[in-house]
Amino acid sequence: MSDDSTVLARYLDELGWSPRQLASRINAIFGAGTVSATAAYYWRRAGNAPRAPLPAMIAIVFSQSLGRTITVEELWNGQAVDSPHIVPAAPDMDVPWTLSGTVQLVEDWVQGGLMDRRTFVAASGAALTAAAHAYLELPRLTAALRGDTVSGTLISQIEATLPELRDVDHRRGGLHAKTYVHGQWLTIGALVRDGHHQNAISKRLLSALGEMGDLAGYMAFDAGEHGLAQRYWITALRAAQHAENTALAASILSNMSYQAATREHGRDAVELANAATRAARTAPAAVRASVASRLATAHAAAGEVQAFRAARDRAQDTLAEASPAAQPVPDWASFVSRSYLSSQSACALIQLGRTQMSENRRVARALLEEGQTLLAPSMSSTPSGFQRSGVLRTVWLALGYTASGELEEACLAGRVAAQRLSDVESPRCASLLTDLRKALARGRHQNAAVREFIADLDQVLGQT
């Protein structure tokens, strides 16, 4: 037991954490450099409270790790200032999964408006995956809404904007239209909140809310706002449930899985992708194939080679069975193709190869080579209308070459990606290029190509 008698010290002991581990967790959630590695030693002593907004951040870290609510008041007994604008992404799970509960969450969005100043903290573990379990375990909505305040013409206009907005996201990246999409989300949310629609209109409206939330969440994810993305997705998942739109629910859960995989939370990613698989059981083949592809990426993030290969093969086999005439493909899944699935598995192969380097270099090199072969065509062409994907694929190719020690090829692929970066507004792409810079700079400054490329890349990243 620590000699310190503060509440913070007791919670550190309960978790088995050192002050350095607390600081590391804060930086992992809120960003590198938020606190110094030794700052928590000072907070642990009685009477030493950090300045705002750190007390709220610390309370959130303890709440997530201990599985119960820990407040700033409890930690410092009135000696620290709270920061109410910092809130967890996952809404209070006590809000029931009923239509009134969903409307309650939508009301929170509408009241926040376009200038919502809150910072949403990304969840992980049970706090994140609880939404998936709640969706799967609850029965479908059976009580219909009554009345008709939204016309079929209006809902058709709302539905018609969705494909265009998705196209903008694919071409220009998440930042380009994020504010506009948020405005559309609030507009649909206000219509849902007002209620009193006929059952058919109500379901279409809730599906539109779910689709717009799925898109808004992906844009926020691409913009690096992970907590905000989760908040969109969890609300959208509820809307999909009430609309009885299981295919959309599967899409939302698979996007949540993909986010977790990119954040290197492999077990969360697998759990969410498995939930998406269950939700997609009756969905069109293209949706099931896309979900299987996300499951493969999740297994790659978890370092599970055989499970990755099984899910990857299932994705391709499922798409081969597709019969759009028998089961129409939702517009939001129309991009799913063999080449799309191949590129997704290629990026996952690079991710797997990089993580396997410390365990089995022979296996790692084989994985990297397989991924590089699949991604090599991305150097010369970008899928029409998918400029962001073109950037991401070439960066992953460069990361693969870097891990293999093929530095000149890595720099060449990195230059192609850097040139394409100006075509998109995607912090995710810029962040991945930053990862490439770090990988190349690690002990490789003696290589002339690397030195020259890093200098040029720094200029590009400085402009984003």
The predicted structure's pLDDT at residue 124: 63
Query: What is the pLDDT averaged over residues 195-214?
Result: 88
CB contact burial 344-360 (16+ within 10 A = b; e otherwise): bbbbbbbbbbbbbbeee
Q: In the predicted model, is pLDDT for residue 382 greater than 80?
A: no
Confidence of residue 139 (pLDDT cuts 50, 70, 90): very low
Q: Determine the Cα–Cα distance for residues 96 and 126; give it in Å rounded to an integer.
A: 17
The predicted structure's pLDDT at residue 83: 76
The predicted structure's pLDDT at residue 3: 43
Instruction: Give 432-458 pLDDT, tens digit per residue.
Output: 999 999 999 886 667 899 999 999 999
Instruction: Give 298-355 pLDDT, tens digit per residue.
Output: 999 999 999 999 999 999 999 998 877 778 899 999 999 999 999 999 999 999 999 9
Instruction: Give 13-54 pLDDT, tens digit per residue.
Output: 999 899 998 988 887 777 667 788 888 888 887 668 888 888
Tokens of 321: 């069975």
The predicted structure's pLDDT at residue 447: 87
Instruction: Give 141-185 pLDDT, tens digit per residue.
Output: 233 233 345 667 788 888 888 998 998 888 888 778 888 888 888
CB-based contacts of 122, cutoff 8 Å, min separation 6? 29, 89, 226, 227, 229, 230, 263
The predicted structure's pLDDT at residue 252: 97
Contact 454, 411 (CB under 8 A): no
**What's the burial of 191, exposed, middle or buried (CB within 10 Å: 0-12/13-18/19+)?**
buried
Instruction: Give 253-271 pLDDT, tens digit per residue.
Output: 999 999 999 999 999 999 9
The whole-model pTM stands at: 0.73
Instruction: Give 227-255 pLDDT, tens digit per residue.
Output: 889 999 999 999 999 999 999 999 999 99
Top pLDDT among 369 and 145 is at: 369
Contact 252, 236 (CB under 8 A): yes
Average model confidence (pLDDT) for the chain? 85
Q: Determine the Cα–Cα distance for residues 292 and 318; give it in Å rounded to an integer.
A: 9
Q: In the predicted model, is pLDDT for residue 138 greater than 60?
A: no
Contact 343, 371 (CB under 8 A): no
Q: What is the DSSP letter of 461?
A: H
Long-range Cβ contacts of 370-376 (<8 Å, 24+ apart): 370/346, 371/346, 371/347, 371/396, 371/397, 371/400, 372/397, 372/400, 372/401, 372/404, 374/342, 374/343, 374/345, 374/346, 374/349, 375/343, 375/346, 375/347, 375/350, 375/400
Shortest CA distance to 369 belongs to which of 382, 381, 359, 356? Answer: 356
Q: What is the biggest distance separating any 2 CA atoms in the chain, rounded to whole angstroms? A: 72
